[in-house]
Amino acid sequence: MTENNRLLIIEDDLAFAGILARRLTRHGFECQLAHDATQGLLLARQFQPSHILLDMKLAEDNGLALIEPLRQHLPKVLMVLLTGYASIATAVEAIRLGADNYLSKPVDTQTLLNALNAQAEESVVAQVDEEPLNPKRLEWEHIQQVLNANKGNVSATARQLGMHRRTLQRKLLKKPVSAKST
């Protein structure tokens, strides 16, 4: 196994992490698993991966907060952020912080391999359509931006948006509307 195929998977869903590790081991990666932020940072130092798959939501932790410390310790690592709550706002923030790519769950093996095998210069974030976003999608994006600015604090976000906290929580539970739906 070469040094180029060392993959650290930082994912709090144990079953999903195991599936990813099995899939990617079959494609030539030597995989190590971490299930929280502390374990992820420790394993990054010990294992010295060439690639990192990082979940955005790690129980009480936010994967976005791990990007900079991981990047400082491993400046050449290829880092892919995985999320079940994709939004343009978090994609932009992840790339700004130092992630090389941003993928939405569920992700198929070929898409994952393409992201992991891309050179940093070739990494591509989700394609943005030329069509305007519908109003519900724009609302979702705006909520995500405000929530991110408030570091995930739902009460502060609700106050800033001028809505009741429970209303905001209901909106956050809904999957984002696709850009093309009406």
Per-residue model confidence as pLDDT tens digits over 62-103: 888 899 999 999 999 999 988 877 777 788 888 888 888 888
Confidence of residue 178 (pLDDT cuts 50, 70, 90): low
- What separation, in Å, do the N-terminal and C-terminal C-alpha atoms of the chain show? 49
pLDDT at 127 over 70: no
Q: What percent of the chain has pLDDT over 90?
A: 29
> Do 58 and 41 contact (CB within 8 A), yes or no?
no
User: 3-117: which CATH number, 3.10.20.740, 3.20.20.140, 3.40.50.2300, 3.40.50.920?
Assistant: 3.40.50.2300
Spatial distance between the Cα atoms of 133 and 179, rounded to a whole number of angstroms:
5
Domain boundaries, the chain: 3-117, 135-173
> Do 176 and 86 contact (CB within 8 A), yes or no?
yes
Rounded to two decimals, the pTM is 0.65
> Do 113 and 92 contact (CB within 8 A), yes or no?
no
Mean of the pLDDT values across residues 14-21?
A: 89
Q: Which CATH superfamily groups domain 135-173?
A: Homeodomain-like (1.10.10.60)
Query: What confidence score (pLDDT) does residue 108 get?
Result: 80
